[in-house]
Amino acid sequence: MQREQQESLTLFGPPEKFKLFWVSPWGIIFEVTAWSLFGLFASLLFHSARYARKGKFKESETAVGWTKLFYTPVVAVVLVLAIADGLLHVGSIGTRIWLIPLFGFLAGFNSRKAARLVDALSNWVLGRMARSLEGDAPASATATNTGIADIRNALTPPETFDDIGTQAKIVADAMLATKLSQLPKS
């Protein structure tokens, strides 16, 4: 019995296809930081060589490159966390996990665009928080609780495949109604 229990412990770990270089959150942050720095170095080399070849390289841009070394890893980690949490939509959870190195590299290579994306994300998140303080929170919470109750009521165990389709439509309708009720009224 004990041997069977120990063998079954492997079933509780993440599937092999979802494991990258590191499984721990700190390892993933390190990975994103490393890939963002690789992307940044590639970008700096690419753009510096291009401007040097054209004879338009400006020494004053060197300071910009040094500042990118400090803010790019932070921006990349914020973007990957937003993607991993589903705030930024790029596909399924499997896609989000597998593309972590790519997101880190692209955030480093395009550090200015990534910084603008983080700025837009922070405006969206902080704007929602500010609106919740303006008195919309009780109405929103009531709509959310009503939507959750509708979904729970719809989740009686299905007996046939037709029941599954019917219940899925009820749940989808309840979710859509909840989301529509949360939209700002114009």
Rounded CA gap, 103 and 35, in Å? 8
- Sequence-distant (6+) residues with CB within 8 A of 117 are 79, 88
The pLDDT, as a whole number, for residue 115 is 86
Put simply, whether the predicted model's pTM sits higher than 0.85 gets the answer: no
The pLDDT, as a whole number, for residue 68 is 87
The pLDDT, as a whole number, for residue 69 is 86
Chain centroid to Cα 63, Å, comes to 30
Q: Which of 151, 149, 144 is nearest to 170 (CA)?
A: 151
Two tokens, residue 129: 């928080």
DSSP readout, 134-173?
IIIHHHHHHHHHHHHHHHHHH-PPPSSHHHHHHHHHHHHH
The pLDDT, as a whole number, for residue 139 is 54
The pLDDT, as a whole number, for residue 38 is 93
State how far the alpha carbon of 99 is from the alpha carbons of 15, 42, 148, 180, in Å: 16, 19, 32, 31
The pLDDT, as a whole number, for residue 26 is 74
Two tokens, residue 168: 């899925």
Q: Which residue has the tokens 């910084």?
A: 115
Rounded CA gap, 104 and 117, in Å? 14
* pLDDT in single tens digits along all 186 residues of the chain: 777 767 776 666 555 555 555 556 677 788 888 989 999 999 888 888 887 788 887 777 778 788 888 989 998 988 888 777 766 666 665 665 667 788 888 889 988 888 888 888 888 888 877 777 776 555 556 656 665 665 566 556 666 777 777 777 777 777 777 777 777 776
